[in-house]
A and B are shown apart, each in its own frame.
Chain A
């Protein structure tokens, strides 16, 4: 690969190799304050490559590969190379992570304890994570929370926060001084803009937290909350994990411990302000 960079997000080291300069330059600019992998050795490799040599120049489209590959993954236009790099890192995590139970969840920490927010795409994970950061929480991640079966603690994965469509302006208003990536129009998920985690999130990204609250947010409904039984929480979290079955009994033990020890709530909300008030009230009531 012609252009290469490496970085560490939470406990995970990545090496990104790319046929073009621009995506690597964007990654290096937005991840400028992130550390390098320990001893320079990455856990995962991401490759961003042209399908044919001449396609580096002619209608360039970025294929996503690496240690783990989805054969039919559609390429992205070069203008969305940053998104390809992010998707490449997510893909390696989703397919290759073995040490931690990977939960598709946003996480934020306060006083050493973490709230986990899981849900389908569009549930508001990234928006809520960014807005909690704006209100003084430590952002642990907007996409993956890493549950350590050995300790029961959650490790953060504070990659760039992937804001979509309407949430881009909502978060820009709440964080006027934050650093953002370019506006990526016409992606498979609409318009995307990446938010750089604040200095505190980056400085503390190696510190795990004890999970204290599990939320299942759902956007677009009247404000409502209901307790979720441990068994329902268990089933929903197995669905939100890409490597639960791979971890076998370690995954089972980690997840049963989590749902037995940590209360779960379903949370419907009509807008971000309402959701934040709900989250902070539930947090205070713990």
Chain B
């Protein structure tokens, strides 16, 4: 069986994160892109911090911190794939 990939958030100095209302704005220096994001994107970045985690580790931490009743690994993988594509998260 293939090893699960680990994920690491883009370095904090490359991101400007501004929570507004329901949505959060993220400016990503490396790409010059502005992202308007909803939960769980800011929570994922915060939980990853400067650590590398597998999807399962991340889901466990998110569930604990945010009291997720319906923690869904497939949905999290989907979000992580989007974040990797936009450069907000790196897949190791």
B-binding residues in A (CB < 8 A): 229-231, 234-235, 238, 245, 248-249, 252-253, 256, 259-260
Chain A residues closer than 8 Å to B34, beta-carbon distance: 238, 252
- Chain B residues near A234: list those with CB within 8 A: 20, 25, 36
Given contacts A231-B36, A235-B36, A248-B32, contact A260 B27 (CB under 8 A): no
- Closest Cβ of chain A to B29, distance in Å, is 7
B32–A231 touching, CB < 8 Å: no
A229 near B21: Cβ-Cβ < 8 Å: yes
Instruction: Give the B interface residue count (CB, 8 A).
Output: 12
Interface contact B20-A245, CB-CB below 8 Å: no
Residues of chain B from 14 to 42 with CB closer than 8 A to chain A in the complex: 16, 18, 20-23, 25, 27, 29, 32, 34, 36
Tell which of B16, B21, B27 touches A231, judged by Cβ atoms closer than 8 Å. Answer: B21
B-chain residues with CB within 8 Å of residue A249 when the two chains form the complex: 16, 27, 29
Nearest-neighbour CB distance to chain A for B81, whole angstroms, equals: 24
A252 to B32, CA, bound (A): 10
| Docked CA distance A252–B14 (Å) | 14
**A260 B20 Cβ-Cβ under 8 A:** yes
Contact of B16 with A253 in the complex, beta carbons under 8 Å = yes
**Docked pose: A249 CA to B13 CA in angstroms:** 12
Chain A: CB-nearest residue to B34 = A252
Contacts of A231 in B (CB 8 A): 20-23, 25, 36
List B contacts of A253 (CB < 8 A). 16
Please measure, in the bound complex, the distance between the C-alpha atom of A256 and the C-alpha atom of B35, giving whole angstroms.
Answer: 12
Q: Is the CB of B36 within 8 A of A229?
A: no
Q: Collect the chain A residues with CB atoms within 8 Å of residue B23's CB.
A: 229, 231
In the complex, what distance in Å separates the CA atom of A235 from the CA atom of B36?
Answer: 8
Contact B18 A256 (CB under 8 A): yes
Question: Bound complex: CA of A248 vs CA of B32, how far in Å?
Answer: 6
B20 lies within 8 A of A229 (CB): yes
Instruction: State how many angstroms separate the Cβ of B13 from the closest Cβ of chain A.
Output: 12
Knowing that A249-B27, A252-B16 touch, tell me 7 more A-B residue pairs with CB under 8 angstroms: A229-B23, A230-B21, A231-B25, A231-B36, A235-B36, A245-B32, A252-B34
- 3 tightest Cβ-Cβ pairs between the two chains A and B: A231-B23, A252-B27, A230-B20
Q: Using Cβ atoms and an 8 Å threshold, which residues of chain B touch A229?
A: 20-23
A259 in contact with B32 given A249-B27, A252-B25 (CB within 8 Å) = no
